[in-house]
Amino acid sequence: MSNNRQRILVPGKMNQRVLDRLPDHFDPVFIAATDPALVTAELSSSVAGIAVQGKIPAEFVDAFPKLEIIANFGVGYDGVDAVHAAERSVMVTNTPDVLTEEVADTAIGLLLNTVRCFPVAEQWLRQGRWVKEGAFVLTPLTLRGRTVGLYGLGRIGLAIAKRLEAFGVSIAYHTRTPREGLAYTHYTTLKSMAEAVDTIIVIVPGTESTRRTVNAEVLQALGPQGVLINVGRGTTVDEEALIDALQRGVIAAAGLDVFENEPHVPEALLSLPNVSLLPHVASASQATRDAMADLVVDNLVAWFETGAALTPVPETPFKRKTA
């Protein structure tokens, strides 16, 4: 391995394919966590790039004066302070597009599991209850006749909407800016959409502008037949308000792939019968995670070899400064 390879730091856990590919191009170094106390003087002065899966605090970024790029594993980059990185002229990349269809598939699966209780029905069969007690109960909810409101209609939201069209349900959406050329009804506020639909699928990024926006008022507006699906970020939903709404029948059911404090899921949610829960697996097939891993490494390679990242986030639209 040549000595003039760029040094890439991997703090904490990282997808195995990223770890396997990094040494082909770089001099990778590893520390256990994004903790500035773990950064030696030698690391501080040599790291040019960081590959991260999870949260990376601004003070950790500031520990590296020669840092040029942070490559985030995931399309959602709420764990990286991209505005702070931009102020320091540090490029931030994410992994859009390569996971869009997989996440949209999961959203539909979670929606069906939630309204038709398929995971519970499977347990009924596996536990021998079909033989001993007879047919599983008829589900009180159905997807038939529903009106689905997408909270977010970006890459993944649109892929979910295309799938929903085939299911014959009505489709609406709420975003800050309406999308041109679509037949779906646009609502300018989340509350007005919640009043008009009976199903909401959350697929917005986890930002300050979306934080806890699915609150008690929105859930009340969704109503007693209401179903909430969250495949975006846990921070977008007020989890306490959701638990209360599910306990009191303010809404009918929820399907969640993401939570406020992962991997911890509140006991109150676990004990509710009207929820379907997944451990943040929307993109978690081998093929899709491999494609995400490749994009992480390919962004680093492109940055150092061509001076331009493949998928920069909007906050860092710049090119590499050459000496």
Q: Whose Cβ is closer to ligand 8YV: residue 14's or residue 197's?
A: 14
Q: Has 264 been annotated as catalytic?
A: no
Which of ligand NAP, ligand 8YV, none is residue 209 near (CB under 5 to 8 Å by kind)?
Answer: ligand NAP
Among 61, 75, 221, 246, binds ligand 8YV (CB under 6 A): 75
Q: Give, rounded to a whole angstrom, the gap between the first and last alpha carbons of the chain.
A: 24
> Helix-strand-coil percent breakdown of the chain, rounded to 5?
40, 20, 45
Say which entry of ligand NAP, ligand 8YV, none residue 153 contacts (CB below 5 to 8 A, set by partner kind).
Answer: ligand NAP
The minimum distance between CB 242 and ligand 8YV, in angstroms, equals 19
152 binds, among ligand NAP, ligand 8YV, none (CB under 5 to 8 A by kind): ligand NAP
Q: Quick one: 8 or 275, whose CB is closer to ligand NAP? A: 275
- Of the residues 155, 212, 280, 320, only one is catalytic, namely 280
17 near 290, Cβ under 8 Å? Answer: yes
Quote the least distance from Cβ 20 to ligand 8YV, whole Å: 17
DSSP type of residue 2:
-
- Where in 42-71 is the site for ligand 8YV (CB under 6 A)? 53
Binder among 76, 109, 149, 152 for ligand 8YV (CB under 6 A): 76
List the structure tokens of 230.
Answer: 């969250």
Smallest distance from ligand 8YV to CB 94, Å? 7
What contacts 297, CB < 8 A, 6 or more positions away? 18, 21, 22, 25, 51, 71
Distance in Å, CB of 76 to ligand 8YV, minimum: 3
Q: Is 74 in contact with 97 (CB distance < 8 Å)?
A: no
Q: Is 84 a catalytic residue?
A: no
Distances from the Cα of 203 to the Cαs of 75, 147, 225, 317, in angstroms? Answer: 12, 16, 21, 24
Would you count residue 99 as binding ligand 8YV (CB under 6 A)? yes
With CA atoms as reference, report the closest residue to 95 among 125, 58, 51: 51
Q: Per CB under 6 A, does 221 bind ligand 8YV?
A: no
Residue 278 interacts with which of ligand 8YV, ligand NAP, none, CB < 5 to 8 Å by class: none
Number of H helices, E strands in the chain: 13, 12
CA 233 to chain centre: 5
Token code pair at residue 2: 């040549």
CA 242, CA 228: separation in Å to the nearest integer? 9
Side-chain-side CA neighbours of 203 within 13 Å: the count stands at: 27
* Closest distance to ligand 8YV from the beta carbon of 227 (Å): 21
Residue 312 binds which of ligand 8YV, ligand NAP, none (CB < 5-8 A, kind-dependent): none
C-alpha span between 176 and 261 (Å, rounded): 27
Of 59, 165, 262, 305, the active-site residue reads: 262
- CA–CA dist 313, 221 (Å, integer): 34
Interaction of residue 156 with ligand 8YV, rule CB under 6 A: no
Q: Which of 26, 73, 151, 304 binds ligand 8YV (CB under 6 A)?
A: 73
Smallest gap from residue 155 Cβ to ligand NAP (A): 4
Report the C-alpha gap between 10 and 51 in whole angstroms: 5
Judged by the rule CB under 6 A, the positions of this chain that interact with ligand 8YV are 53, 73-76, 99, 280, 283
| Active-site annotation, residues | 233, 262, 280
